[in-house]
Amino acid sequence: MTLWPGDLRARLLAGAAVLVFIAPLDAPGPAFAGLALVAVLYALERHALPWRRLLHLEAFLLIVLVTVPFSMPGTALLTLGPLQASVEGLWRALTLAAKVTASVLFLSALFAGAAPEHLGAALRALHLPEPLVRIFLGLVRYLALIRAEMARAQEAMRARSFRPGTNLHSWRSYGWLIGRMLLRALQRADRVEEAMRLRHYAGRLPRPATRAVPRADKLRAIALPAPFLLILLWGLG
């Protein structure tokens, strides 16, 4: 029996509640307790950790771990010339890394396998602003096309013997590349809008009838964030 609510509306509400409870944690103990709880949920659900996503995330968090200790005053931990890393800064960086990792892992497990169009329908059923839902669906739908266009443009640059470097020519070339991608994206958006208007699009996507959230999913949506609420209360205490 799965721990996650089957209805995506219940999942969205449970995920939002968990993020709200994780975000205010400002001590290492509660933050790492939240990360450990997410790991336990993965073990109970027998989910494999998304290692590739974690590698991208930890590469960013590595920058946080390197810079934050040098930006906070406190007990000296390491001195590099005029720079001094503090113990308090290191703990703050580790706390931030634990919170971000726990949040990403939780959302990855919660929405694994959920189709973007189903997520869009769930967001609309929760009465989120229509422009936000349209932006989300459009981004998911056309992100792969924009990536493919970027890959073709970079391949064309390499075919013309472009070699990136720290020089004016490289920066100018990347500027032209970004400008070209923006223009292509605007042109594609215009074509998509014309196609939608030809299909009598009047500013709102069709809103199909939605059924009530099952009772079991409501209970799971309430029970799932409860341990994270206890961790938050521990951190605030």
Burial of 104 (0-12, 13-18, 19+ CB in 10 A): middle
Whether pLDDT at 54 is above 80: no
Q: pLDDT grade, residue 19 (50/70/90)?
A: very high
Whether pLDDT at 206 is above 70: no
Question: CA quadruple 182, 183, 188, 191: dihedral positive or negative?
Answer: positive
**Same domain as 143, residue 71:** no
Residue indicated by tokens 């790492």? 32
Q: How far apart are CA 83 and CA 79, in angstroms?
A: 6
Tell me if 22 sits within 8 A of 103, measured CB to CB.
Answer: yes
* Closest to 217 measured CA to CA, from 83, 71, 110: 110
The reply to whether 206 falls in a domain is: no
**Same domain as 114, residue 35:** yes
Q: How far apart are CA 136 and CA 156, in angstroms?
A: 30
**Same domain as 153, residue 96:** no
Most confident range (mean pLDDT) of 55-59, 143-147, 151-155, 200-204 is: 151-155
- Structural domain that includes position 177: 129-198
**Same domain as 193, residue 97:** no
Q: How far apart are CA 101 and CA 103, in angstroms?
A: 5
The reply to whether 1 falls in a domain is: no
